[in-house]
Amino acid sequence: MANDKPTKIATRIKSATTGEEFYIGTTGLIEHVSVKLTAPTTVDWTQYEVLVQNISKATSEYITLSALGECHFEIPMGDIYEVTLPTVEDYTEPQVITYMATIAARNITHEYSHQAINLETVIIIAHVYASSQDVSVLEGLLVYATTTDGYTYSGAFDSHGRTQFTVPYGKTYYVTLPEVVGLVHDHVQEHHVAGITSREIIVHYSQQPLGAFGITDEGVAYTAEKIAELENKDIIKYVGYNDPVLSVSERGDGTRGCGFMWKVQKEVAGLSWANQNIEFDHNRLPYVTSEAAAMNAPYSGRYYTDIILEILEEKQLAGNPQLTAPAAEFCKNKSITCAGIDLNGFLGNFNEMKRAFTGNYGKSAVDAIYVALGKTNQNPNPASGDWWTSNQYSDTNAVNMTYGGFDYRYKTTSYNSVLPLYDLIIREVVS
């Protein structure tokens, strides 16, 4: 005889939390889940969510936490589900929890604990090369490491020109060094990713003499008068130029001092600026359409050379692999070592070229160096002929210096001369 009543397979349970009565094991009923999160410091829980994934039904839901770190949800009896608690910065990441819904009420609690954060120790060692100053001039000055997500770490130089601080693993950071009146440092503000036990960064501060100099491989600078007294003038490998404007101008990386030098011997080439007359992102490489605008532009050919090559790589990857930038590439691929510092060349801005190589500014002082070296004029001589600069005139044209004046040519023009410039490195001045 058939039984008209369903078989009772459920058990009645009273929730200790709410006082409600539920049946477990009966098809169609639900499991009530409460989540409560705590931490030893204040956390804005409303910024976080709990992920609930019903494995049995292949569904998922993000549930926002209350200010008290609580949330609630329901799961049908018999279903398997996973709960992923939020990851909170500076705390250990919780493990994913898996359950089967079998009880009337389930309480999930989790207390966050501080994770063991690995730290990278950043050690800065500074050297000062100046006739009247030593590293003690840096004592008490702060070095900053700024991360891309807005954190700052710092340390002060001691009397020996050393400082150190720590940065948590995984942080991408930039180091900013203090500026010192009358000195310029050779630190390039490149990014680092914290992930090693310690990182040592060596920086050299040099004095900023003004004028034109002959410079040796050791970074010793000679005035024209002292060059004339040298028995062996072949020790002079570079000609350097600096003036009151260049000495305080920004390099483009947050540091100042745009004096520069170039090889005594010719290191020039007749090249095109680019092999196609196309725009190189004028937002990053602004158009310069007059001499007045050029002279008011930043004095940082090194920075703009890097921008040209950065844009070049982007365009090549974006579907124009045939594109080249011969003038900038030629300069960047040239390198020297002065006073133990490896330097890559750069394509000078119009304003930098103008200041060193024309009669309005430094030509007579630079000429005096070449005369003292036994040469009758500048060699190379950017005051004569056509010379590329790192300035962009328009989509199709780039700026060149023609006999010391402002001009522009199609970027594909191949007869313009190119002179690699280098950052000015002076360790000592013989005057």
Who contacts 4 (Cβ-Cβ below 8 Å, separation ≥6)? none
pLDDT of 25 over the 50 cut: no
For residues 1-9, average pLDDT: 38
If pLDDT is split at 50, 70 and 90, which confidence band does 204 have?
confident
Average pLDDT of the chain? 88
In this predicted structure, which of 27-36, 46-55, 384-393 has the lowest mean pLDDT? 27-36
For residues 128 and 131, the model is more confident at: 128
If pLDDT is split at 50, 70 and 90, which confidence band does 379 have?
low
For residues 384-393, average pLDDT: 94
The answer to whether the predicted template modeling score (pTM) of the entire model surpasses 0.95 is no
pLDDT of 20 over the 70 cut: no
Taken in order of first residue, the domains within the chain and their CATH numbers are 11-111 (2.60.40.1120), 119-207 (2.60.40.10), 211-430 (no CATH)
Helix 363-372 to helix 350-357 angle, to the nearest 10 degrees? 60
If pLDDT is split at 50, 70 and 90, which confidence band does 13 have?
very low
For residues 289-301, average pLDDT: 92
The number of residues making up the chain comes to 431
Please provide residue 167's backbone torsions phi and psi, each rounded to the nearest 5 degrees. Answer: -130, 130
**pLDDT (tens digit, 9 = 90+) per residue, 396-405?**
999 999 999 9
For residues 147 and 377, the model is more confident at: 147
